[in-house]
Amino acid sequence: MDKYLLLLLVLSLASSLQCARILGVFQMPTVSHQSVFQSLWKELSLRGHDVTVVTPYPLKDPRLVNLTEIDMSYASDSMKRHGFQFFMRKEFAVHTKIPKIFAINYDAADAIFSNTEFIKIYNNSNEKFDVILVQTYISPIMYSLGYKLGAPVIGVASMGGYVGSHYAMGNPNPPSLYSEMFLPYNGKLTFYERFCSTLYYIWLRFYLTFVAIPRCDEIARKYLGNDMPYMGEIEKNLSLLFLTTNPIFYPPRPTVPTIIPLQRLHIKPPKPLPKDLQTILDNAKNGVIFFSLGSNVQSVNMPDRLRIVLNEAFSELPYTILWKYESVDLPGKPSNVIIKKWLPQQDVLAHPNIRAFISQTGLQSTEEAIDRGVPIIGMPFIADQSMNTRVVAEIGIGVGVDYETVTKEELKNAIIEVAENEKYKRNIEKLRDLMLDEQVPPMEKAIWWIEYVIRHKGTKHLRSPTVDISWIEYFLIDIAFVVLLISTIIIYSIYKIVKVLRNCNKATVKKNGKND
Ligand SMILES: *[C@@H]1O[C@H](CO)[C@@H](O)[C@H](O)[C@H]1NC(C)=O
Ligand SMILES: *[C@@H]1O[C@H](CO)[C@@H](O)[C@H](O)[C@H]1NC(C)=O
Ligand SMILES: *[C@@H]1O[C@H](CO)[C@@H](O)[C@H](O)[C@H]1NC(C)=O
């Protein structure tokens, strides 16, 4: 009997350890990013953790009994007032984009910290969490919740890291090799690209140090109180940073152990299509070109010129075109074009009749295309899309077109090339095989690392030493100075000694001469 009691005690202890309290703050009002986080918070709650999330895109699924969602959707419009779609366009210089992304983050932080439901959580010293997940989208403001609530923080990004994140984690990020994701460079940089990349790097370090981080610090103090370390320190205290940078699609790079590369978190096995869609795709005997610009760049907002070029090119193609178009009326719609306001993209891409995917090449869409083995015609608009399109073309899984200059003929040729030339399909299938060949599935990896942080109350033991030394030490400037100083002293001493010896010599020669 005693044995059983002991067993019961051990079992209940084990299960209480397994059920943790997790807070998630996913502030940015963009669907594609949120789809990655939604998968994560859903899975954590299904595994029995008690999960509370603050998000503009709640799942609102009553079956998720261990999940509490604080709905921030009412604030999305005010967060978007900076014109997210507009300023992220590629013609905007990168040094004007960064301040605007920060501005959205300031607004999001104000909105979230002012939410009455959320105040009851973060302003209550009885609230205890085992770990806090925070969306990483360049601003560190929300990381301050970790200090306030005494819990380790994990940053979760649905794209690669930007210069500031790598810096805060102490991760090597030389501008000679790894350009910023907001710059359209990839692979081996040319002299000019390295020049721009370096200037940008220096500018950003100044901007962060003297403008952005002080402002983030101010906002956090306004709501969480003055008893807090400086934001620059808080940012360096992340337990882990999840990034969507797999070395299959992005150039391989060294990472410190606290950066966890993840991918495909939002991808689910294909589900059956709605009946009408299934019929359309089954009956398209010449194949289907799927066209979607994702959730941030919407087709209804495209310039008239582009719409006309697309319609003309589509009308001369033998394929059925399935176009995610967010309105009922597409002016000048050719007969082989079918428009739908919304489409289950992952399931559509899984249909065998899909020949090619015209995409803005957002990272999530690109991962889906690779996962389903559908070659890409990249048409980048904003953020990291230009860089992604460049990668798509370089690794031969598709081609890129420029939406501002593309002509009907160019577009037609690009689509025919990708749909008919088998090499793109072969390359993307090869890439998929590489991407899927992982030690553990990405979701398992993410959950394991989150639970690791919970078990060990942070990852202090994994902290990169780079974080705690100054740039003078990092670049060995002090050592260089000492070496230079010692060499100068030695050279000067030798010079002096030689001079003295020569003088002596002269003196003796003179003396000797006199004596003679
Ligand atoms: C809720 O959490 C409990 C443990 O805390 C777990 O046993 C249960 O399966 C979870 N239910 C759902 C639907 O997630
Ligand atoms: C760093 O994180 C730990 C938890 O992992 C927390 O206890 C500590 O207060 C944090 N320190 C700073 C300076 O944010
Ligand atoms: C948090 O609580 C304190 C007192 O308990 C109060 O003075 C403060 O205004 C509260 N903060 C917010 C953001 O409501």
DSSP per-residue codes, 13-51: HHHHHHS-EEEEE-----HHHHHHHHHHHHHHHHTT-EE
Query: What residues in the chain have per-residue pLDDT under 70?
Result: 1-18, 78-92, 509-516
Question: Tokens for 456?
Answer: 């060990």
Co-location of 85 and 109 in the same domain: yes
Domain that holds residue 325: 275-436
Residue 415 within any structural domain of the chain: yes
Asked if residue 428 is part of any domain, the answer here is yes
Nearest Cα residue to atom 12 of ligand 1: 46
**pTM of this structure:** 0.87
CB of 303 closer than 6 A to ligand 1? no
Backbone angles phi, psi at 41, to 5 degrees: -70, -30
Rg for the chain, CA atoms, rounded: 29
Closest CA to 152 of 126, 172, 133: 133
How confident is the model at residue 16, as a pLDDT?
47
Helices (H), 354-407: 363-372, 385-394
Give the separation between CA 412 and CA 309, rounded to whole angstroms. 10
CATH number, domain containing residue 101: 3.40.50.2000
C-alpha neighbours within 13 Å on the C-beta side of residue 473: 6
Same domain (yes/no): 248, 392 = no
Spacing, Cα 122 to ligand 3 middle (Å): 10
Residue 2 lies in a domain: no
Residues 33 and 160 in one domain: yes
Structurally, the chain folds into a number of domains equal to 3
Work out whether strand 240-243 and strand 259-261 pair parallel, antiparallel, or are unpaired: parallel
CB of 123 shorter than 6 A to ligand 3: yes
List phi, psi (to 5°) of 81.
-65, -15
Asked if residue 18 has its Cβ within 6 Å of ligand 1, the reply is no
Token pair of 323 as six digits: 């176009």
The protein residue with its alpha carbon nearest to ligand 1, atom 8, reads 48
Phi and psi torsions of 382, nearest 5°: -130, 170
Distance 422 CA to ligand 1 centre (A): 47
pLDDT at 83: 60
Counting ligands in written order, the one closest to the CA of 19 is 1
Identify the nearest ligand to the CA of 468 by its number.
2
Q: Are residues 236 and 256 in the same domain?
A: yes
Do 122 and 261 reside in the same domain of the chain? yes
Going 390 to 391 to 393 to 397, the CA torsion angle's sign is negative
Which residue CA neighbors atom 3 of ligand 1 most closely? Answer: 48
Assess whether 31 and 53 both reside in one domain: yes
Residue nearest to atom 1 of ligand 1 (CA): 48
Last residue of one domain, picked from the residues 436, 453, 487: 436
The whole-angstrom separation of Cα 104 and Cα 106 is 5
- Co-location of 500 and 429 in the same domain: no
Say which residues have a Cβ less than 8 Å from residue 158's Cβ, sequence separation at least 6. 32, 33, 36, 37, 135, 244, 363, 364
Distances (CA, A) of 323 to 275, 289, 320, 340, 494: 17, 8, 10, 6, 79
Q: Please give the distance, rounded to the nearest whole angstrom, from the Cα atom of residue 208 to the centre of ligand 3.
A: 29
45 lines ligand 1 (CB under 6 A): yes
Q: From atom 7 of ligand 2, which residue's Cα is the shortest distance away? A: 150
The dihedral built from the CA positions of residue 428, 349, 400 and 313, taken in this order, carries a sign that is: positive
- Is residue 63 located within the same domain as residue 197? yes
8 A C-beta contact, residue 139 and residue 219: no
Distance CA 44, CA 155 (A): 16
Please, what's the largest Cα pairwise distance for the chain? 121
445: CA distance to ligand 2 center in Å? Answer: 24
pLDDT at 102: 92
Specify whether 141 is located in the same domain as 163: yes
Q: Is 1 a member of any domain?
A: no
Q: How many other CB atoms are there within 10 angstroms of residue 33's CB atom? A: 26
CA separation for the pair 387, 364 (Å, rounded): 14
Instruction: Say what the pLDDT of residue 246 is.
Output: 77
15 lines ligand 3 (CB under 6 A): no
4 occurs within a structural domain: no
Point out the ligand nearest to the CA of residue 223. Answer: 3
Contact 387, 186 (CB under 8 A): yes
Residue 202: its pLDDT value, please?
Answer: 93
Report CA 368 to chain centroid distance, whole Å.
16
The answer to whether residue 11 sits within a structural domain is no
Q: Is residue 222 part of a domain?
A: yes
Residues 261 and 308 in one domain: no
Structural domain contains residue 12 = no
Residues 495, 390 share a domain: no
| Dist. CA 25–CA 37, nearest whole Å | 10
What is the C-alpha end-to-end distance of the chain, expressed in Å? 119
Q: Do 153 and 170 fall within a single domain?
A: yes
Q: What is the pLDDT of residue 1?
A: 47
Phi, psi (degrees; rounded to nearest 5) at 495: -55, -45
Q: Are 136 and 157 in contact, with CB atoms under 8 Å apart? A: yes
- Report the residue among 123, 127, 149, 224 best suited for mutation to probe ligand 3: largest number of ligand atoms under 8 A from its CB: 123
